[in-house]
Structure 1
Amino acid sequence: MRHINIVDLQRYRQELTEAEKSLATIEKYIRDIKTFMHWLGDDKDITKDRVIQYKEYLKTKYKVSSINSMLVAINRFFQYLGWNECCVKGLKSQQQMFTSESRELKQHEYEKLIETARRKKKEQLALIIETITGTGIRISELVYITAEAVTQGRAEVSCKGKWRQIYLTKELRKRLMKYCRQKEIKAGPVFCSRHKNPLDRSNIWSMMKKLSKEAGVDPGKVFPHNLRHLFARTYYKKHKDIFYLADILGHASVNTTRIYTRTAGANHIRMLEGLKLVI
């Protein structure tokens, strides 16, 4: 009989921590495992057939990418427990060439968010949005934007066991230095709560959602990772160097970077029409 208990989950969390997985990754894995446990209900016995049934259930609720991500989480947990016979295959899908236009944050929408934040006297939020979009960093890396980094003009960022340098543009650095002077921030992370603790992703996420409504921008487009996508698309459109972009974003594979440089299908249509091949 295969059963998951809280002790197993606690030990697995510790295992992920010792493997130096990011906090966001750990929380996601644990959340996905708990979702599976909740689905099991009273019938807690885990077999491969039950996991296959769960996969079928996920098909009715989530997109393919989300399903595969959730299956990876429970498969790795099974492997940790030595339950390899319970692992199931992910769903096959062809990588999409284009992003949904309804999800793509446009330049004018980004500018509207910044303008609204400043009009509402939300300078910290405006700078957070500009910093993520202007550097392409992950929200988890925002803690490395310190007063010292602003002074030096660059930050040393660590993610997934790798270090890389993030450079701050002259204008961004100027605005951050002014903010630090106003808030008397002389050392440590620039973006903190009133209690001087670094802001976490949930704080920033909720602030952005509220701002999106105030700015009249679709809330479905306004979240930290979409700002990173905007940086990637803008950079690639101007420089067409996907390998250098991969280094900037901290991607181990260029294939991951390609996902970030997708544009809406409407842009592709315009490019095709520009060829003038249908006479």
Structure 2
Amino acid sequence: MEKSKEPAEQLRIFAQYLRREERSRGTVEKYLRDASAFVRWLNGRPVTKEAVLLWRDDLLARGYAPVTVNSMLAALHALFCFAGWEECRVKYLKIQRRLFRDEARNLSRGEYARLIATAQKLGKERLALLLETMGATGIRVSEVKYITVEAAAAGQAEIALKGKLRTILIPAKLCRKLQRYARKQKNASGEIFLTRSGKSLSRKQIWSEMKGLCKYADVNPSKVFPHNLRHLFATVFYQIHRDIAGLADVLGHSSIETTRLYLAVSSTEQARRISQLRLIS
């Protein structure tokens, strides 16, 4: 069934809606990127359920992972819900829950420390402190902007995202480092991690700077991305405290099942644990 508005025009209105709803910058960028990819693929054809099914199959044929396809469909479904095109929604691909974390993406504490030391050696003070801040608090990359001079002085940051409020506790030692850095940058208030022109660091810039460290720190680039610092925080927290409910609160998860995904171990680690049971004569 052909739609009353041109998809490209509906996409423009959808973008305005997302911003009014105060969705995170990362969410807005992802939804628009994925929905735009579908509109380009349509190439002027009408929006129909059959077209969405063909697009889903085409993504798979082009080598997209099922989890990625489902993520792109979620963005498209958000557009359909906004535009009143619910009849165009399609089923997500069925994916078996992964029992083990990909070892090639497991960032160890040693590698984390090496990244920080390398950044410091290269004179990248801001990047070294940013890595420590994300690693020591478990914040999302979209939450970096809430690490302010005021938050460092108070020892906590108040974060408002996705319609929820939560408090991030900042370790005292980190607070002192953040305050020293802010004074050095002559920054008396507001965000601590800024560009030379005084703007917020973008997700793309943080990602790029982290990747740039890999060859100097001798760390596999597949392990180095902002969200992996959050995974490292979750893993270390649980290893020490064995409190999954407390970890869910710290990470801002509304469901413990989400937190459980952060604690998946590699198949090698699981095999080691099983061998320690000593149930073989």
Q: TM-score range by the shorter chain?
A: over 0.9
Picking from 25, 28, 31, the partner of 1:29 is 31
Picking from 10, 16, 25, the partner of 2:12 is 10
C-alpha separation between the residues in 2 aligned to 1:219 and 1:241? 30
Aligned runs of 1:9-158 on 2, under 5 Å? 9-41=11-43, 44-60=45-61, 61-158=63-160
C-alpha separation between the residues in 1 aligned to 2:37 and 2:19? 20
Q: Which amino acid aligns with 1:178?
A: R
The question of whether the paired residues in 1 share the 8 Å contact of 2:23 and 2:161 is answered with: no
C-alpha separation between the residues in 2 aligned to 1:9 and 1:94? 32
Post-superposition Cα deviations, 1:58-100, rounded to whole Å, max 9, x if no partner, equal: 2232222211111111122122222222110001122112110
Q: Which amino acid aligns with 2:48?
A: T
Q: Which amino acid aligns with 1:46?
A: V
Aligned runs of 1:157-176 on 2, under 5 Å? 157-176=159-178
C-alpha separation between the residues in 2 aligned to 1:16 and 1:180? 33
**How far does residue 238 in structure 1 lie from its aligned partner after superposition?**
1.1
* Shift in CA distance, 45/71, structure 1 to aligned 2, threshold 3 Å: same
Please, which moves more after superposition, 22-31 or 112-121?
Answer: 22-31
Q: Are residues 1:258 and 2:269 paired?
A: no
What's the counterpart of residue 247 of structure 2? 245
Q: Secondary structure at the match of 2:102?
A: coil
**How far does residue 109 in structure 1 lie from its aligned partner after superposition?**
0.8
The question of whether the paired residues in 2 share the 8 Å contact of 1:233 and 1:263 is answered with: no
Q: Secondary structure at the match of 1:211?
A: helix
C-alpha separation between the residues in 1 aligned to 2:82 and 2:182? 45
The question of whether the paired residues in 2 share the 8 Å contact of 1:146 and 1:189 is answered with: yes
The question of whether the paired residues in 2 share the 8 Å contact of 1:157 and 1:164 is answered with: yes
C-alpha separation between the residues in 2 aligned to 1:4 and 1:265? 48
C-alpha separation between the residues in 2 aligned to 1:66 and 1:32? 10
Runs of 4+ residues deviating >3 angstroms:
2-5
C-alpha separation between the residues in 1 aligned to 2:185 and 2:21? 37
Post-superposition Cα deviations, 1:188-214, rounded to whole Å, max 9, x if no partner, equal: 111111111121111111111111122
Q: Which amino acid aligns with 2:54?
A: Q
Q: Secondary structure at the match of 2:123?
A: coil
Please, which moves more after superposition, 116-125 or 252-261?
Answer: 252-261
What's the counterpart of residue 228 of structure 1? 230
Please, which moves more after superposition, 258-267 or 77-86?
Answer: 77-86
TM-score (norm 1): 0.95
Q: Which amino acid aligns with 1:164?
A: R
**How far does residue 38 in structure 1 lie from its aligned partner after superposition?**
2.1
**How far does residue 54 in structure 1 lie from its aligned partner after superposition?**
1.1
The question of whether the paired residues in 2 share the 8 Å contact of 1:208 and 1:223 is answered with: yes
C-alpha separation between the residues in 2 aligned to 1:85 and 1:141? 35
C-alpha separation between the residues in 1 aligned to 2:208 and 2:6? 33
C-alpha separation between the residues in 1 aligned to 2:73 and 2:8? 19
Percent same amino acid at aligned positions? Answer: 43
Q: Secondary structure at the match of 2:159?
A: strand
In structure 2, list runs of 5 or more residues that go unmatched: none
C-alpha separation between the residues in 2 aligned to 1:4 and 1:249? 40
Please, which moves more after superposition, 185-194 or 74-83?
Answer: 74-83
The question of whether the paired residues in 1 share the 8 Å contact of 2:166 and 2:252 is answered with: yes
**How far does residue 138 in structure 1 lie from its aligned partner after superposition?**
0.6
**How far does residue 170 in structure 1 lie from its aligned partner after superposition?**
2.1
Post-superposition Cα deviations, 1:23-67, rounded to whole Å, max 9, x if no partner, equal: 2111111111111122223x5222222211111122232222211
